[in-house]
Each structure stands twice: as C-alpha cells, then as structure tokens.
Amino acid sequence: MKTLEFYTVCLNPCLDVNCFVDSVKFDDIIRIRQKLVTAGGKGFNVARFLHKYKQKVIPLGLIAGYNGIRLKNLLLSCGIKNIDLLELSGETRESYNFFFRMAVS
C-alpha cells in the first residue's frame, strides 16, 4: 500500500497565545492564570492534526524574527521533522485569546 505524503501551506502564520484568566473587570488588571503557546495558522494547524494521526506531512510556510524561530521550534517539539520554511525580515505575528470562567448561578 502506498503511503500518502501531505503538504500544507501557511502564508500567514502566528503564535497562538491562549491565556486563561479567572475574571475580567473593566479598568482593572487581567491576571493570567495559565498561558499556552502553540504554532498557529491554518496550514500549521492542519499539519499538527495530520501528524497526530500518523500521516506524513511537510508544512511549508513563511516565518520572521524571534517569533518565527519559536514557531519553528514548537512544530519540531510536536514531532514534525520535515519543515520547509522561508525566513523573511520582520516579525511573525502573535494572536492572543483570553478564556475565562463565567459564574453560573
């Protein structure tokens, strides 16, 4: 049986920074309880999904600056080894998401 090889393309990558907080109040400091950083962008998300299910995947994409190096290392740390990235000048973007618990009465 022939093994399939997938290529994913991510032209707009980012570091997804998920911040978990207990509460959000107007005009107050948001205290982050937990932070989780992952390699983001649709192509990289698909690559991680395929890799998780034991498919051979080669992510292709653009990275820049310190965030780009961190993104590449995050992909490598999930076990994806064949990564083809073009390094550009500038900085890879970050996307911040805040999750908080709502009081249920």
Give me the phi and psi of 93, to 5 degrees please.
-75, 160
Whole-prediction pTM: 0.82
The SS3 assignment for 101 reads coil
What does the domain layout of the chain look like in residue ranges? 5-100
Q: Are 44 and 13 in contact (CB under 8 A)?
A: yes
Q: What is the pLDDT of residues 24-42, one digit of tens each?
A: 788 888 889 999 999 999 9
Phi, psi of 104 (to 5 degrees): -110, 125
Rounded to the nearest angstrom, the gap between the alpha carbon of residue 43 and the centroid of all alpha carbons in its chain is 10
Please write the tens of the pLDDT for every residue from 65-75.
999 999 999 99
- Give the pLDDT confidence of 39-62 residue by residue, as tens digits: 999 999 999 999 999 999 999 999
